[in-house]
Structure 1
């Protein structure tokens, strides 16, 4: 029996919802999976631990026992509770699941799951106690997305080495990659995972559109290699006071039609509703996906599912730019996160031979450190191979005529800025002047595209864009600036209260 048939019937029964042309009869070709969840140190049973088959979410009884229906294509996963950790592989991939595929995956170019044999009499999970404070930090990646080993090496030197230092300094607890772990060639999962494992943190992963088995006949069988390496396509876990949800919003349209669309689908939304039934309404829920929330067809249905939770925050990647948006009547905050690979490692190489990889919005490639404190959170963007406080680019003519200084345009790109950021500037320690937010194009990317079209284009793969971005601020300079060299100072404060400064000198003739 196919997973979609089982889940469709189960979803309809457990949720009482109607989803178009769906078989509402509970499938008969099912078995009952049984198991226990125990304390790995003491062997004692753990009650009230959530377990899921991808639709139903149940809890262990006082003896740590659970039961769930399964088919011959089901992944059972434990929802890691606060104060416990799951085992990890040598590559720091959390092992919180059991795959039941007696016949294994169908043959595809990249290997899927080997046959797992008959359903075990007991599928058990042993969780190890750990201390999880109310305040903690994690590392967040957008698309690593290497094509080959060379680009994995770029990532290792440009990003991973910096994260190793950063994660230790910030005492980060784990990391998450927001999809497109790979760029179609799934043979490179192993060396990529080895590189990220050097950070030394458990690392969770989101499925992206470049992580699929493109020779699969349909969406149902498009993530078999992913499952072999990372487990379920969607799942959840708790760390400290925060509930984390990993979603799959890629709908593969099949080998014949090709391509993909952004969609969660009724099966996953039903699971999400069942998952959140066990989460208190005042607990922070952090949702990670690949395609931005604004790009999925069932955005409204998603917002409906999370509406009873007072504190929510979601993240995506996919677009190779960075922006903050707010959705729905509750102003749900969504961060479309910058990517590790920037513009797919495009642009001229630096002195190390690594492309500058500037994204289509003019921002650098990089990652974030996110701090959680009960229901609050704070995102700090870390530009790759740059000082942490280098958070903006300032554009101004090199030389300005004094009589025309009021015509000179100042453009400021605050890489992780939002409509809730403030930006101010001053010249030569004069009074601060507020700068208006004027969404537009980044001048640097515009200039690169002009050079790429010239007779002698710069070295390296072409960059993406330019694409409009909301994190641009513009103004003109004061009139009749005196002749000489001047210092421009820019100050920005983001929505989290973090303030950064940068400077630019210019000449007036």
Structure 2
């Protein structure tokens, strides 16, 4: 089929002065602005937006307090310029901070009323970073298959008053079309393109759509299509060698460090990106952090020295049935502090202090290890150390193992009454130890990969159940 090309042009400027070298795209082709900030771009009849990769040191205009206007819908009925007005960032974005949330997944309006109260937690946390460039990342599934809830979500999150860059989730798609290409229209009408990039300091941020709707009922797979690959190749071509990347997508690329044998079943196809190896290969020359959601649990995977993925637990917990997720992680969000090209991160539990980094059960909580103390350390990776203490004395490192979190098992039994398909998932961030003195005061000392230490006292199972029961 013949593609009819149409040329659009415009200027990117700040304070009436053109900005040179800004990357402009229609989601397929990419060009850079010239010395005067001008560009011209050939688009075809499939292009819906023209957008910029916002350069470091600048901010776009925003609407509704959180939606960055880095894009403009293409109007083929008029011959006009597509100009972008930027403003200088009042902060030095070489050092910046962002939060990352996943799976608000509002099913009904009252969910957003509760979510609105969670934003007080965000506000308190972000207040500690005054005089810093701050923005948000949303890993998708803003709603639970209900585009009518986009407006109340936008109204709820207004109070943050910072840019929030959003990825589309599978539950944000339109399922009533005949193809993948029709699945994005509702989301785009509120938030713009589903694949785009921007820059902060030394870091290049990329938002991708890896939810591939197969054109029947509500089924989808995790998949990056060729159009996205080609756009991504062009986007990366403008970067200096070794530029750090932060890539945001809804569905994880993988759920294990090593690629597993392929299985042709729906859960395998829908819970990870089936062509992740090609994607990993494309970004291999850049130190990269991938931030994803979708799974309703927390998991950090270090693929190699350059590539790490942070699968972020759900803000909605167990689909608004419980304050915890399927692996026992309390609902919360990630906080990422960027200093030059270095990232430091932590997981912030809603309604809990910053140092709440584990749940520690006294003996009796685990059916498998009834004599053991159990620690669920939700943001753990292999560079963390988990030790136990008796009456304040260090006794040694705990043993990492994979199983169900005791509280998650109990909460999912309760949640099944609402949704029959809910079930706990096994997690690898559990630790156990047999206390030498069961009568001692038991606590756990956690040291994260950045040297931060946290001490959490052990409690009996019933106290946790009463605390988290909804």
Task: Please tell me whether residue 409 in structure 1 is matched to residue 386 in structure 2.
Answer: no
Match of 1:58 in 2: 31
Distance 2:306 2:35 in 1: 40
Corresponding residue for residue 334 of structure 2: 368
> Which residue, 73, 81, 84 being the options, matches 1:125?
84
How many angstroms apart in 1 are the aligned matches of 2:447 and 2:106?
Answer: 33
For residue 470 of structure 1, give the secondary structure of its aligned residue in structure 2: strand
Q: Counterparts of 1:170 and 1:452 in 2: how far apart (Å)?
A: 37
Contact 1:164 1:199 in 2 (8 A): yes
Range with greater deviation from structure 2 (489-498 or 86-95): 489-498
Separation in 2 of the partners of 1:411 and 1:331?
Answer: 32
One of 409, 420, 431 as aligned partner of 2:394 = 431
Q: 1:450 to 1:179 in 2, by over 3 A?
A: closer
Give the Cα–Cα distance (whole angstroms) in 2 for the partners of residues 407 and 183 of structure 1. 38
Distance 1:152 1:505, change over 3 A: closer
The 1:462/1:409 distance shift into structure 2, 3 A limit, reads farther
Post-superposition shift, 1:210?
A: 0.5
> What is the RMSD computed on CA atoms of the aligned residues?
2.1
Query: Residues 388-408 of structure 1, C-alpha deviation per residue, up to 9 Å, x if partnerless?
Result: 211111112379xxxxxx971
User: Residues 440-451 of structure 1: matches in 2 within 5 Å?
Assistant: 440-449=403-412
CA shift at 1:452, angstroms?
A: 6.7
Residue segments in structure 2 that go unaligned for 5+ positions in a row: 255-271, 461-470
Counterparts of 2:421 and 2:155 in 1: how far apart (Å)? 28
Counterparts of 1:498 and 1:96, CA distance in 2: 37
Deviations 1:128-181 (A, max 9, x none): 111333222111111111111100011111x21111111122236110110101
Cα offset for 1:119? 4.2
CA deviation string 1:430-473 (max 9, x = no partner): 233111211211011223345678xxx8xx76794321111101
The change in CA–CA distance for 1:502 and 1:412 in structure 2 (over 3 A counts) is same
Cα distance in 2 for residues equivalent to 1:195 and 1:47 = 37
Distance 1:235 1:448 in 2: 38
1:258–1:343 CA distance, 2 compared to 1 (3 A): closer
C-alpha spacing 1:464/1:418, structure 2 compared with 1 (3 Å) = farther
Q: How does 1:350-499 map to 2 (within 5 A)?
A: 357-397=323-363, 408-449=371-412, 464-478=422-436, 481=437, 485-499=439-453
Q: In 2, distance between residues paired with 1:86 and 1:47? A: 16
Distance 1:194 1:121 in 2: 32
TM-score of the aligned structures, taking structure 1 as reference length: 0.82
Q: Which residue of structure 1 aligns with residue 466 of structure 2?
A: none
Alpha-carbon deviations, 1:289-311, whole Å to 9, x = none? Answer: 000011111111111111122x2
**Residue 292 of structure 2 aligns with which residue?**
316
Which secondary structure state, in structure 2, belongs to the residue aligned with residue 165 of structure 1?
helix
Which residue of the partner structure matches residue 223 of structure 2? Answer: 263
Asked if 1:147 is matched to 2:107, the reply is yes
Asked if structure 2 preserves the Cα contact closer than 8 Å seen for 1:343 and 1:463, the reply is no
The alignment partner of 1:176 has SS state of: strand
- Separation (CA, whole Å) in 2 of partners of 1:223 and 1:452: 31
**What CA distance in whole angstroms lies between the structure 1 residues aligned with 2:249 and 2:415?**
33
The structure that has the greater radius of gyration is 1
2:160 — aligned with what?
Answer: 199
CA contact (8 A) 2:327 2:405 kept: yes
Tell me the SS of whatever aligns to 2:103: coil
- Distance in 1 (alpha carbons) for counterparts of 2:420 and 2:329: 16
The structural deviation recorded for 1:317 is 0.2
Runs of 4 or more, structure 1, over 6 Å off, are 460-463
1:169 to 116, 123, 128: 128
TM score, norm. by length of structure 2: 0.88
In 1, the alpha carbon distance for the partners of 2:21 and 2:52 equals: 11
Residues 492 and 216 of structure 1: is their aligned pair in 2 closer, same or farther, counting only changes over 3 Å? same
* Shift in CA distance, 343/97, structure 1 to aligned 2, threshold 3 Å: same
Structure 1 unaligned spans of 5+: 6-26, 101-115, 348-356, 400-405
How many pairs does the alignment contain? 436
